[in-house]
Structure 1
């Protein structure tokens, strides 16, 4: 309920000839439908009908069957539809998992994008880099793989059952055991996925579901309105209108009380921290729907719980819920709008395209930048006055975590010692710093180099003057590109995906396409094979 609070959201195939297996630059071409051509421009949030969703599945299935060359599919492999989400203007994105001789292929996912009617294919994205031709007989047993994985964390709470898979996020697919280890690093909780080579016992790669960030203040005004649930005498900080979203303490229990009046506006009060967390998450949900055409954090109408009271100068997403700590002075909880939206941004990243982005600092930096971008989008959507937390492109500017102001700067990452532009050193740059290039790209795409009333920004290459297209359009393009994400996610893939997204979203103009290209060029991410042209 709303509460006023005392505290501080079956087509005919005719795909044109293609040169790369990673992207389809021409669409399937069914018989022209005059009614379709004459239909009005859809609203941003326009979920496809059941008929259109079924049509998209039929179109995608037919495409995958007819064009195995696009996905490097062999005779021992099968595809299964794993997710079907819609985005801006009802465009559809279908993610398929891949199996090889009955084993799941990690990194073999395929994402097929169609128009909102499900009749035309916009792109086919596959992360697989070479065909799978391996033997599936393991020389390393599950117990040995489990012991190897367990040794990767200093503190271990539990170890999942090892699963034999094909690991395919690198150039050459390999047989591997995937082992999930729950525990903690020296700094934070950890849900670590470890891939152990099933032939020689070496570690191929690992990645952590826990993605850490830092905080802002609790200034959202007093009072604010949040969605809670319950009735007289029994209320809960559970938002039943946004399934999955609720807030409570570190033990996972939701806060409840006899009155529907929460928090006291204090920076140290945990109930107030939950007020701020719910307020920000609800604003982000509304932004996703109104601006980006997305149905919740998952894209399928769900969100995740928030926990406050973390005894650390930190905040993180662990794959199942967000958790928020405090600043180093212990005067403010880390639950302001951009920090909350950042952590839920990791959840959006996880629920877009093929799921994870792969291991390594480059994909990790893109994941961190994704959180920053959703923080900026949510702040701009909420559009709070200067007396609260006005929209900007700074991250954690009010928390003063360690006396040095904001944590990251999107229009000039180098102001915080982070790279403004892409280089060969990004794959070895710590992930929070490696967020710099994509953050800078997003600012240039949204605002340009010399926006009125906002900070100027420089370029690293290409034209020295760029004109922005506005943060709402930039967000639509970014999310639509993210919907086609495959592992390993790289800056080159992000460029190709967002250029393709711009053309699909704004087919009547090349302004947006060329702006996306120019902004990527400005941060030293050049065009690669398969990039769409406009016109």
Structure 2
């Protein structure tokens, strides 16, 4: 068992991941309904409260459930309260294996909550402290609410959450949530509901495009949940939906106010289509509802923002900020906050990940749109020319090129502006998709300690990142965290789900994070497994063979035991069986896989069972795509320290 807190982050989170992969699943899975999945998750939660750092006084509410349709594994998100108070950063995910048994949990808390809920300062004092951090014209301070703040490293504290409403100096509306220590009065942090990108527009970007409107020629998209696009007429409140006499919109210049509307409407449509067609998500909100897009906001307003419900674009210095990667970026914030309860906290490393995710989605939407006028790249906001010299807002392939963003993780990167700490995630994603060094999109430099990365391509990278957010990120996920709640672990888990533990994709995720100085204790892939005897079936027993030779399983080592099937024509059965007997204390350290002759991995046991001793189980596996003949291996990985054992015997029946 690995008892090093710092090292647990990645390996613990790997537990139960592979149950979401078709090739790793049991045969003919039973896929539960949403209600059954929730009931099973609730039962698992009740039996494993220690896994989510449960405490007396806790209460939990289901936020959403993801059911893997190919295996029946489930991932149920919960929010948490403590003695009736919301716990910021207390959300978690319960992962259940096919059949409904508990597999693992993703949780931000490092210990159960044990704090007093009696405040040491008044609500009025908290409001005064919060007001000191608001920059702009403050219109209203909401009534302070007592909460438990568990978003930061270290012990959770009782705090006041104060919401300050107003307008920043640049006309951006602000809904600033300020967290004030309820005993000391110190401001612990703040985050704004309004997510934005600062820029100056120079032109319209979409060119001639097709947009969906209503038969009455209103700029309402009936194909995508009736998303509307409207004209604020350089105000900030009343917005009039664009209409047209002949369904030919705009002129491609700012002389026609509808031109900006075309870009915004097109951007909303392509973002909707991208998430639906690539990731299977039914729009930003997940329910098919379209997005409202407002253009011509304010007076020469040089920003665009997402406010939790809609998109808003300013005109900049005479040119609207409606480039498609800006649209995808801002609506990407909507994706984040609708997948994760409350979104990724918009401060510290979590805020950097939030901005990084939006940069990723903005550029992936741009690639998806495949516009000749604005082809896909890894620059952020390159068309709006915010610097006035043709340079983009950010560079994903080399973030430091903008003069402020960070390429490499270091202890303290969470203290810089979230738009700049996003560079760590941006570069890691670029490495994953395109690789390091000279690429078609620019030269991507490695951080100290990094090794050359060969990318897996955008199609796989975007799937891995979305899966990580969808079922493993919590609101307080960071690049590096004490415990299980870090982005490296989440993306490795996603790669395991999609492509298999220690797959090429898994190893590339490892290399990508290493390239930005984010390391961890992961599955020790790539080494030479400890050799073990090979056994062939006896005559007349085609497809059933046992290897009973003991194989030692040292700490942090991968070993294997082999059997050879010969003279057995055809493919294996959809209900093939692997009977496994392993002697080992603390089986939560182990990952047990069946390796087919072609190298395909079928994970049988993945860090489940905690401190239970020994594995004595028969697994049913769908091997119908695998030829019987060849060398089959039972591979056992000890992914932690302090507990050892041996492969005692195993039997393969094809």
TM-score w.r.t. the length of structure 2 is 0.70
Counterpart-to-counterpart distance in 1, 2:277 and 2:361: 14
Quote the residue 1:65 is aligned against.
Answer: 46
- Verify: 1:276 aligned to 2:263, yes or no: yes
- SS of 1:146's equivalent? helix
Cα distance in 1 for partners of 2:95, 2:248 equals 45
Which structure: larger Rg?
Answer: 2
**Match status 1:213 vs 2:213:** no
Do 2:159 and 2:179's aligned partners in 1 also have CA atoms closer than 8 Å?
yes
Q: Is the 8 A contact 2:346 2:354 kept in 1?
A: no
Q: Distance in 2 between matches of 1:376 and 1:228?
A: 25
Q: Distance in 1 between matches of 2:18 and 2:453?
A: 35
**Aligned length, in residue pairs:** 499
Give the aligned partner of residue 497 of structure 1: 490
**Distance change (3 Å), C-alpha of 1:367 and 1:359:** closer
Structure number with higher strand proportion? 2
| Contact kept in structure 2, 1:112 and 1:123, CA below 8 Å | yes
**Aligned pairs (5 A) from 1:99-498:** 99-113=81-95, 119=100, 123-153=104-134, 154-170=136-152, 171-187=154-170, 188-214=172-198, 217-222=203-208, 224-229=209-214, 231-232=215-216, 235-243=217-225, 245-248=227-230, 249=232, 250-251=236-237, 253-259=239-245, 260-267=247-254, 269-310=256-297, 311=299, 312-328=301-317, 330=318, 332-385=319-372, 388-404=373-389, 405-417=391-403, 418-449=405-436, 453-462=440-449, 464-483=451-470, 484-492=472-480, 493-498=486-491
Q: Secondary structure at the match of 1:219?
A: coil
Distance 1:282 1:122 in 2: 38
CA apart distance, 1:109: 0.8
Displacement of 1:62 after TM fit? 2.1
Paired residue secondary structure (1:225): coil
Task: Decide whether the 8 Å contact of 1:57 with 1:118 is kept in 2.
Answer: no
**Offset of residue 515 of structure 1:** 0.6
Which stretch has the larger CA shift, 496-505 or 477-486? 477-486
The SS at the match of 1:191 is strand
Contact 1:211/1:316 (8 A) holds in 2: yes
| Structure 1 residue 93: Cα displacement | 3.9
CA gap of 1:359–1:372, structure 2 versus 1, over 3 A, is closer
Q: Which residue of 2 aligns with 1:5?
A: none
- Which consecutive unaligned segments of at least 5 residues does structure 1 have? 1-15, 41-47
Structure 1 window deviating more from structure 2 (64-73 vs 301-310): it is: 301-310
Cα deviation, residue 491, structure 1:
0.9
Q: Is the 8 A contact 2:279 2:466 kept in 1?
A: yes
TM-aligned CA distance change 1:459 to 1:93, over 3 Å: same
Deviation at 1:147, TM superposition (A): 4.0
8 Å Cα contact 2:345-2:354 kept in structure 1: no
- 1:92 to partner: Cα distance: 5.0
Q: Of the candidates 494, 515, 519, which is equivalent to residue 522 of structure 1?
A: 515
Aligned to 1:220, what secondary structure does the other structure show? Answer: coil
Change in CA separation of 1:157 and 1:57 when aligned onto 2, cut-off 3 Å: same
Contact 2:9 2:489 in 1 (8 A): no
> Counterpart of 2:57?
76
Asked if the contact 1:373/1:439 (under 8 Å) is kept, the reply is yes
Mapped partners of 1:288, 1:70: distance in 2: 32
Superposed CA RMSD in Å reads 3.2
- Aligned-residue offset at 1:28: 9.8
Q: Secondary structure at the match of 1:288?
A: helix
> What SS does the aligned partner of 2:211 have?
strand
Give the TM-score normalised by the residue count of structure 1. Answer: 0.84
Whole-angstrom distance in 2 between the partners of 1:34 and 1:382: 31
